[in-house]
Amino acid sequence: MDLDDAQDWVWCDSQFAAIETYVKTQQIPHGMICDWPEWYTAPYVGLWAVENPEDPGFVGHWILAGDSTGAQPQPVPFDHLSATDLPEPRDAMAAFARKWTTLAAAANKGIAWQGSPELSGDLAAKAKQLSRQAQLLALWAADDELWDLD
């Protein structure tokens, strides 16, 4: 599904409210929450920066957020990582891919995890889905064309 610029704007704008709610629910320390993702592919997933309250102007956490509209049958889960040692969005994308690969492998062995990402339902099915999504995140992180700075 390709969205035009206006549809991208509407999707990202609608995601922002979900990002705010997620940050508050997860009690993530924050300053400003950026109102536009650092990277996204609408209407599927976006990578958002959350300001470090102890170091204004710098990213404190990265939020990876799937579609919150309910339109996607298997949405990417919401998750977060500290930006410590992950200064760039591409670094964060690769870190989410590694984290999810590890979690999916553990879940395939029947080991559930606590915390983020929060998944409910059939652990084996969710592990398979998370593994596929981790592979896609890794592909995106490795694609130089997606991260070119003009």
Task: Please compute the mean of the pLDDT values over residues 94-108 and round it to a whole number.
Answer: 93
| Residue ranges of domains in the chain | 3-144
Separation CA 48–CA 45 (nearest Å): 10
Detail the DSSP E strand segments found in the chain. 39-41, 45-51, 59-66, 79-82
The two tokens of residue 16 are 């922002």
Percentage of the chain modeled with pLDDT above 70: 95
pLDDT-based confidence at residue 121 (cuts at 50, 70, 90): confident
pLDDT at 150: 45
CB 14 within 8 A of CB 69: yes
Q: How confident is the model at residue 61 (pLDDT cuts 50, 70, 90)?
A: very high
